Amino acid sequence: MNSQFKRGIIELCVLSELAMEDMYGYMIINNISQHLDVNENTIYPILRRLTKEEYFTTYLQESSNGPPRKYYKITNKGFNYYLKLRDDWDEFIGGVYEILNKGGKKHEDILRKFKERTN
Amino acid sequence: MKTFLENLKKELTKLGFNEETIAEILNDHKEMMQLALDEGLEESKITEKFGDPEKIAKELKDIEPDSKNKNNEYKLIKSFDQETINKFFIKLISEDLKLEISNSNQFEIYGKRVKLNKYNIEVESECLTIEKKNEKTFGLFSFSSGSAKFIIKVPHDKTLKEIDYKATSGDFEFSNLTSENLKIKNVSGDIEAKTIKATNFYIKTVSGDVELKQSEIKELTISIVSGDIDMDLVVIIENLKINSVSGDTNINSCESKEFIYNSVSGDFEAKEYYPKNANLKSVTGDIEFKNKDKDKNINVVSKKTLRGEIKI
C-alpha cells in the first residue's frame, strides 16, 4: 500500500486509541499491531509529530514493575483533529464502498457479474 | 538492544539532531524495547520489530523543527502595491493567520508549510483573497508536518475598508490595524487583536477565545458560545454588544455608551468600566461590576437574571 496513505490511516488509529484513554508508546503499538500489519517504526514518529503539533501531551507514570513509562494524552486540539480526520475517513471510505459495491458485495456476486458480461 | 540504540544514536547525530532530542528519542525507544523484550521478544528480532535505525532517523528528521527543514520557515509568497488593496477576503480552515506591519509600502504575504496549489491568492477589484480551495482532499492524504501558517504584512498607515475573515480552527492574531469593517467568523480558533481602529467590528466564534486590547472601535459585537472574552483598554464609541452562552467575560478599563449583555451560564466581571446605559441579561451566570469610582453612574436600563447574581 502507498506508504503515505498507510501513514495517514495509522495516524487516525493512533488518535482513536488515545481518544479512549492515555497510553504508553508500546501499548499503542501493541494495540494497533493486533489488527494491522504495521512496522513499529511507523508509529513512534507519528506519536512524536502529533505531540509536537500539540495534539498530545506526555507525562511519566511509575509502573509496578520496571522504570516509569511515558504516557501520551490527547489534548482538546487533538480530539478536534481526530473528529475531523474521522469524518474525512468515513466520507472517503463510504465513497469507496459505494463505488466498489456497484459491482457486487461478495466475491460470488462480482464473479457472476463478470462472467455474465464476458460470456 | 544496545546495538540498535547505538546505531540509532549514530544516525540521529549524523542528521544533526541536538543532544537533548537524541536523549529523548533513545529513552523512548529503550522503554518500548524493554517492554517488548519483557514480553519475550528475542534480541535478534529487534530490528525486525522496531525497524531500521537509519530509516527511523530519517523519518524523525522530517518532523524536527530544529533540523534544517525549509518548510518550517516563512517564505514570501506574493506582494502587492499598497494602492491595489482595500479589502481582505480570507477563508481558511486550520491555518493560523497573523497580520503585521510591513516595513515597506507593500502588502506582503508570507507562508509557512503552505502548499500553494491548495489556495487561491489573488487581488481583484482591490480585494485581496486568500482562500483554501474547496476540494475533496482528505486529511489522511494531506499528511503533512503541521498545519500551514500565513502572515500578511500590511503597510504602515494603510486604512482598509473591510476585512472579512472566516476560518474553522485556525488562530487569528492582528495588531496595529485600521479598518472600517471587520468581520470575523471562527469555530474553534482563537482571536487576538491589539491596537485596532475600526468602525464596525463583529466577531462570531464557537469555542475560540477572544482577546482584545488597546483599541478604538465605534461598534463592537461579540457573539460567542463557549469561548472566553478578555478585553483590556478598549474604547468603544457607541455600543458594545456581547452574546455569550457559557463563556466567561472579563472587561478591564474599557469605555462604551451602551452596553448590551446576554448570557446563559457565563460569568461577567468588569473593572473600571462605566457604560452610560446597560442592558444586562443572564440565566445562571453572575454579572459583576467592580468599579472604584462610585460617583460615576451606570444607568441600568434593564437587568434580568434567573439564578445569577448582579452586583454593581
Confidence (pLDDT) at B60: 86
Written as one letter, the residue type at B286 is D
Confidence (pLDDT) at B137: 54
> By the 8 A CB rule, do A24 and A47 touch?
no
CB contact under 8 A, B32 and A25: yes
CB contact under 8 A, A5 and B140: yes
Collect all residues of chain A within an 8 Å Cβ-Cβ radius of residue B35. 24, 26, 66
pLDDT in tens, A79-105: 999 998 898 888 888 888 889 888 888
Written as one letter, the residue type at A39 is N
Q: How many domains does chain A have?
A: 1
> By the 8 A CB rule, do B281 and B263 touch?
yes
Question: B182-192 as b/e, with b when 16 or more CB fall inside 10 Å?
Answer: bbbbbbbbbbb
pLDDT in tens, A22-81: 999 999 998 998 898 876 668 898 999 899 888 999 999 998 877 889 999 999 989 999
Could you tell me if residue A66 is left (phi over 0), alpha (psi between -120 and 50 degrees) or otherwise beta? left
Residues in chain A: 119
- β-bridge partners, B181: B162, B200
- Cα A61 to the chain's mean position, in Å? 25
Shared domain check, B181 and B55: no
Residue of A nearest to B94 (CA): A81
Q: Which residue has the cell 530519517?
A: B58
Shared domain check, B124 and B204: yes
Beta strands, E only, B55-134: 75-81, 87-91, 96-102, 106-112, 119-124, 127-132
ipTM: 0.81
Residue among B52, B59, B169 whose CB faces A80 most closely: B169
- β-bridge partners, B243: B223, B262
For chain B, 312 residues long, give each residue's pLDDT as a single digit of tens. 888 999 999 999 998 888 999 999 999 999 998 888 888 888 888 887 788 888 888 888 877 654 444 556 788 999 999 999 999 999 998 889 999 998 888 999 999 888 888 899 999 999 999 998 876 555 555 544 457 899 999 998 899 999 999 998 889 999 999 999 999 999 888 999 999 999 999 999 988 899 999 999 999 999 999 889 999 999 999 999 999 999 899 999 999 999 999 999 989 999 999 999 999 999 988 999 999 988 888 899 988 888 878 888
CB contact under 8 A, A44 and B29: yes
Collect all residues of chain B within an 8 Å Cβ-Cβ radius of residue A8. 139-141, 143
Shared domain check, B90 and B183: yes
Domain carrying residue B306: 70-311
Q: How far is B176 from chain A (nearest CA, A)?
A: 29
Considering B61, B92, B111, which residue would you say is the last residue of a domain? B61
Residue among B49, B55, B140 whose CB faces A8 most closely: B140
Separation between Cα atoms, residue B178 and residue B88, nearest integer Å: 12
Considering B61, B83, B112, which residue would you say is the last residue of a domain? B61
Shared domain check, B80 and B53: no
Domain carrying residue A40: 3-118
Q: What is the CATH number of the domain that holds B177?
A: 2.160.20.120
Shared domain check, B19 and B110: no
Shared domain check, B131 and B98: yes
Shared domain check, B89 and B25: no
Residue among A11, A26, A77 whose CB faces B36 most closely: A26
Q: What is the CATH number of the domain that holds A64?
A: 1.10.10.10
Shared domain check, B85 and B187: yes
> By the 8 A CB rule, do A5 and B140 touch?
yes
Chain A 44-103, CB below 8 Å of chain B: which residues? Answer: 44-45, 48-49, 52-53, 66-67, 69-70, 77, 80, 84-85, 88-89, 91-92
Shared domain check, B217 and B115: yes
Q: How many domains does chain B have?
A: 2
Query: With 0-12 CB in 10 A as exposed, 13-18 as middle and 19+ as buried, what is A79?
Result: middle
Q: State the Rg of chain A over Cα.
A: 19
Considering B61, B92, B107, which residue would you say is the last residue of a domain? B61
Shared domain check, B267 and B225: yes
Shared domain check, B153 and B96: yes
Q: Which three cell numbers stand for residue B274?
A: 462605566
Shared domain check, B223 and B174: yes
- β-bridge partners, B163: B88, B182
Contacts with B296 (C-beta within 8 Å, 6 or more apart), sequence order: B274
